[in-house]
Each structure stands twice: as C-alpha cells, then as structure tokens.
Amino acid sequence: MATTTPTSNQSVYDIISKQTQNGSSTNNSTTKTGDDALASLSGDYSNFLTLLTTQLKNQDPLSPMDATQFTQQLVQFSAVEQQINGNKKLDQLIGLQSTANAYGAVGFVGTSIAADSNDVPLQNSKAKFDYTIEKAGGAATLKILNSSGNIVMLKQVDATVGTHPVEWDGTDYFGNKLPDGKYTVSVSYTDQNTGKAIDADITSYGKVDQAVLADGKVFLKMGDVSVPLEDVIRISKPTETTDSTPDDGDTGDDDTDETSGT
C-alpha cells in the first residue's frame, strides 16, 4: 500500500481511512476470516506508524499536534485488534459446541419422542398423536394430509376439553392402506363463547431413526418427519416389547381414539 505524506492539518487516522477504502485492506464484498483480518490490521498498523512518524517530522513547530490525538488513534487500533481476537475465540467455541452437538445427537437414535409438531410420521403403518381442546366448543374435525397436501382423512372427533390421544392405522377414508411417510394433522373446533374457529395443539409421537446436525442445530428424524431438538417435549428409551408401534410415553391406550378409514 502506497503511503501519503500528511500535512499539518491532516489526521493520520483520516489518511489511513482513505487508503483503506482505496486499497486492498478492505473488500466490502468479501467477509474476512480472523487471520485475514489480523494480517490486514497489522499492515494498516505499520502504515499508521509510518504516517505518524512522517507527520511528526512535518508538523508546524509553532502549532504542534495534540498528543491526545495520537493516544486516541493508538487506542482505536488496539480495540480493533482485541475485537478480532475475541471473534476468533468465539468461532472456536461455536465449532466445539457443534462438535459436542454432533456427538450428543447420536444418543437420540433409537429412542421414542413426543414433539410439538403437526407433522406425524406413519411408521410400520401406525401413527400416534394427541390433540388438545382448551376451550369448550362445538364439533371438532380431524384432517390428515399427505406430503402432497391432499386430504386422506376427514372425520369428526371428540370435542370435549382435554387432551385426546389418537392412533391411526394408516388407512384413508376409503379404507385404502397408505404408504409410510410424513403426514400433516390438524384438528379444528369452534369456541362456544366467541364462535371463532380454533386449531387444537398437536403432539406427534414417533421413533427416531436418524439425527441430523444442520447450521449448528440438532434435528431428529422420525422417518420423513424432521423435528428440531427444541420442539421435543419427551424422550423415552425403547422398550423390550416386540411391538413396532412408536412408544407414546405417558399416553395410555384406554382413552385412545381409533382412527381408520371405516
């Protein structure tokens, strides 16, 4: 980078700023890594000292520069250097956290989970989910859509206040068996007091067969359904039973709505 001899009324910091904008030390279209930023800062700091020395040699003896200005400019360089070093340490911590998440995610494979999600996995022709009615209302309608957005099940369900477990055998309203995969569930009902339509909260159950780390976040996959770890509300270990139905945790079978195509 070529240097410019400062005049008595020019600030060294002003000259550095102009040369930084016109030179190769800054590129607005490129994000520097920590090492690149430190190397660039080191070059700018050397130029700063050269300009400062030159300015001291050429200053007006009758109107010398204020020493406070020199100190402020040096402090600015020091602050930038500390910030760059801090960012490098932060990047290292993020990398270590991502590695820890990757190792921790392995432990979820094979477990059964409950998640706040309208997406329900149909695994081995069986699916389980809960819907929660919070306010007294009229008739409640259950709707199940396939991955293409087509309705495969539509029926009236219990609309009393409370949480209602549902088991679905993977058949549509014509009794046809549907393939395993991702299905979207919704239950809507009408508030008796306001007359407004309300969507019930859905809890999805399934068995985790894969854990994926993306953008530093862990996603648990139940078949074709991917759930962020923060949406998981319960995790249970696999039981010794030969039943292939996903474990639904605390959900009992006594109050289960059997949903089928008939």
CATH of domain 112-259: 2.60.40.4070
pLDDT of residue 23: 46
Using CA atoms, how far apart are residues 204 and 129, in angstroms rounded to an integer? 5
pLDDT, mean of residues 156-167: 93
Q: Lowest-pLDDT range, 14-23, 111-120, 195-204?
A: 14-23
**Is the pLDDT at 13 greater than 70, yes or no?**
no
**Over pLDDT 90: what percentage of the chain?**
35
Q: Is the pLDDT of residue 4 over 80?
A: no
Q: Is the pLDDT of residue 15 over 70?
A: no
Two structure tokens written together for 12: 């060294």
Q: For residue 254, what pLDDT band results from cuts at 50, 70 and 90?
A: very low
Higher pLDDT, 106 or 158: 158
Over range 238-252, report the average pLDDT: 50
Q: How would you label 124-151 residue by residue, b for 16+ Cβ within 10 Å and e otherwise?
A: eebbbbbbebeeebeebbbebbbeeeee
According to the model, what pLDDT value does residue 45 have?
Answer: 63
Q: Give the C-alpha separation, 255 to 262, whole Å.
A: 19
Give the whole-angstrom CA distance, residue 224 versus residue 108.
Answer: 16
Mean pLDDT of 225-243: 78
pLDDT score of 207 more than 90: yes
Say how many C-beta atoms besides its own lie within 10 A of residue 47's C-beta.
21
Average pLDDT over residues 149-168: 94
Whole-angstrom distance, CA of residue 16 vs CA of residue 1: 10
Closest CA to 113 of 224, 235, 231: 235
Q: Name the residue ranges covered by the structural domains of the chain.
A: 12-106, 112-259
Residue showing tokens 């508030």: 191
Token pair 């040096």 is found at 74
> What is the per-residue pLDDT across 184-202, written as a single tens digit (0 to 9) for each?
999 999 887 788 889 999 9
**Better-predicted residue by pLDDT, 180 or 56:** 180
Q: Which residues contact 105 (CB under 8 A, 6 or more apart)?
A: 211, 212, 213, 218, 220, 229
pLDDT band at 26 (very low <50, low <70, confident <90, very high): very low
- Beta partners for 237? none
CB neighbours of 242 closer than 8 A, spacing ≥ 6? none
pLDDT (mean) for 221-233: 91
Q: Would you state the pLDDT for residue 156?
A: 93
Summarize the confidence of residues 69-90 as an average pLDDT. Answer: 70
In the block, residue with structure tokens 């007359």: 195
